[in-house]
Structure 1
Amino acid sequence: MLMTTNEPQSILDRSGMTNAEAGALYRLLTWLSPSFPVGAFAYSSGIEWAVEAGDISDAVSLRGWLAALLADGSGFCDGVFLAQAHRAAETGDDGVLREIAELAAAYVPSRERQLETTTQGRAFIEIARAAWSYDGLDLLIASCGGTIVYPVAVGIVSAAHGIPLAPTLHAFLHALASNWISAGSRLVPLGQTDSQRVLASLEPVVAATAGRALLATLDDLGSATFRADLSSLRHETQYTRLFRS
């Protein structure tokens, strides 16, 4: 007997995912892809100055710099803000969400880093809202009360769409590392193979940082990457620049 089936559904069944799970994965891969137009390619997070100063000169030194940024610098802090914003948005705690958004907006070491994270946060929300509308998202945005930095934007949008926190956080930190490597590969410069080796070597650092951020509270926020903060400040007066930070 000939049976008619919903082909997309049958494919999803064989893959072991429901429609909702596949949709969430599709959005997560899209939002945190290098091709998603938040302008990340224009920022180096101070790596440009670090290359000029000689702190980063090859794949090994780039890997060390980025491992420190992820584990003990802006990577960990951004992960904590994303996790806290996701949870507050998921539970509808407007007061806590506003406090997180305000603290995250203030928790940057330089004017250029402020520009970087707020510009990307605004672009992320605008594009995600335009292409994937969600009724409750505008309320979450309003709850933030003003400036929304990039990790908070990712946290509230993913929560609004029902995307679980853990994969969102891992994907965010992986995207962060990928963008830093992209900047480093153009500045050092590095070949494509060396760039991928750096990314592969950072897998355990990304995973460990995500695990720490999932368990952390706002009281655990802190950074020990003083040289990276200094590079972000000095980039503002760097004579020749390819990047905006």
Structure 2
Amino acid sequence: MSRLADSVPVAAAASVATPHLAELLTLFSPAFPIGAFAWSHGLETAVAERVLTDGASVEAWVRVLLDRGSGWNDAVLLVEAYAAHQAGDAARFAAVAELAEALAGSAERRAETLALGAAFAEASQPWAGTGEAERREGADAVAYPVAVGRLAAEAGFGLDETLLAFVHGFAASLVSAAVRLVPLAQSEAVRILRRLEPDIRALTERAGRSTLDDLGSAALGSDIAALRHETLPTRLFRS
């Protein structure tokens, strides 16, 4: 009895800290129908060119993207989109949507973020605020992190918990692509994600305090791989 009593306050505290955990687990589940499985974010090129050959190289690749690559930039864009939509500032939101599209460094990266954004906006309509889904019909597609920021603000999700779920989903999607391409064993993929947890938390904390002035990428290898994917002779993924 005492053990049960002691556990109740802990459970209650966890519920307060992440009140929308159930919703976020659904929205960023690999099974959520946005088609993320079809995009490798340039990772397919790195595997084809033998840059990525094992779990260690995949882990290092993803870590760079989280620390100073597209993973970081997407998190910053999500924060700005969240703030703009929460404030009801349509001009500010339109500006970050335009910026997110412009930051895509290749045709495939642009297609990827817009396709994922459009699919997320459609699939997440049950979580949107009253009337938001209807008002959004026919609107131009926005980049994936912008769509996520908008939905999170509409649904009243906390920014920190949304960022954590989004960044984890970003890393997990890349590791999943590596499982199919390198290939990696599922057990190794799980170990990679376990070792990336501190990086995911660190990115979440940094991004939560960020502004657009913090945008910037130094993951040139990933950017070049994304460009080269467009002419890769044999492709399993769309990017």
The TM-score, its normalising length taken from structure 1, stands at 0.88
Between stretches 215-224 and 75-84, larger displacement belongs to 215-224
The C-alpha deviation readout for 1:48-89, integer Å capped at 9, x for no partner, is: 000111110000000001100111100000000001111111
Aligned pair partner of 2:113 in 117, 121, 126:
117
Mapped to 2, the partners of 1:22 and 1:211 lie a distance apart of: 15
Mapped to 2, the partners of 1:210 and 1:133 lie a distance apart of: 23
Aligned pair partner of 1:77 in 73, 77, 89:
73
Residues 35, 116 of structure 2: 8 Å contact kept: yes
Q: Secondary structure at the match of 1:92?
A: coil
State the 1:24 CA deviation.
Answer: 2.6
Partner of residue 230, structure 2: 236
- Residue pairs, 1:24-35, within 5 angstroms: 24-35=20-31
Partner of residue 166, structure 2: 172
Residues 81, 146 of structure 2: 8 Å contact kept: yes
Partner of residue 134, structure 1: 129
Which amino acid is 1:219 matched to?
D
The C-alpha deviation readout for 1:93-147, integer Å capped at 9, x for no partner, is: 2121111111011111111111111001001011111x335225248858xx733
Residues 105, 147 of structure 1: 8 Å contact kept: no
Aligned pair partner of 2:156 in 162, 178, 181:
162
Partner of residue 103, structure 1: 99
Aligned pair partner of 1:193 in 187, 206, 225:
187
State the 1:15 CA deviation.
Answer: 4.7
Q: Does the C-alpha gap of structure 1 residues 183 and 36 become closer, same or farther in structure 2, counting only changes over 3 Å?
A: same
Residues 128, 155 of structure 2: 8 Å contact kept: no
Partner of residue 56, structure 1: 52
Mapped to 1, the partners of 2:15 and 2:190 lie a distance apart of: 32
Mapped to 1, the partners of 2:17 and 2:86 lie a distance apart of: 17
Mapped to 1, the partners of 2:58 and 2:167 lie a distance apart of: 16
Which amino acid is 1:240 matched to?
T
Q: Does the C-alpha gap of structure 1 residues 64 and 35 become closer, same or farther in structure 2, counting only changes over 3 Å?
A: same
Mapped to 1, the partners of 2:199 and 2:15 lie a distance apart of: 32
Mapped to 1, the partners of 2:207 and 2:81 lie a distance apart of: 12
Aligned pair partner of 1:42 in 35, 38, 49:
38
| Identity level (%) | 43
Question: How many positions carry a matched residue from both structures?
Answer: 231
Partner of residue 219, structure 2: 225
Q: Does the C-alpha gap of structure 1 residues 140 and 25 become closer, same or farther in structure 2, counting only changes over 3 Å?
A: farther
State the 1:166 CA deviation.
Answer: 0.2
Mapped to 1, the partners of 2:146 and 2:106 lie a distance apart of: 18
Mapped to 2, the partners of 1:66 and 1:22 lie a distance apart of: 26
The C-alpha deviation readout for 1:31-64, integer Å capped at 9, x for no partner, is: 0110000000000000000011111000000000
Runs of 4+ in 1 over 6 A off after TM superposition: 17-23
Q: Which consecutive unaligned segments of at least 5 residues does structure 2 have?
A: 1-7
The C-alpha deviation readout for 1:183-233, integer Å capped at 9, x for no partner, is: 011111010111001101111111111122111211111100111000000
Q: Secondary structure at the match of 1:237?
A: coil
Q: Does the C-alpha gap of structure 1 residues 243 and 165 become closer, same or farther in structure 2, counting only changes over 3 Å?
A: same
The TM-score, its normalising length taken from structure 2, stands at 0.90
Residues 94, 140 of structure 1: 8 Å contact kept: no
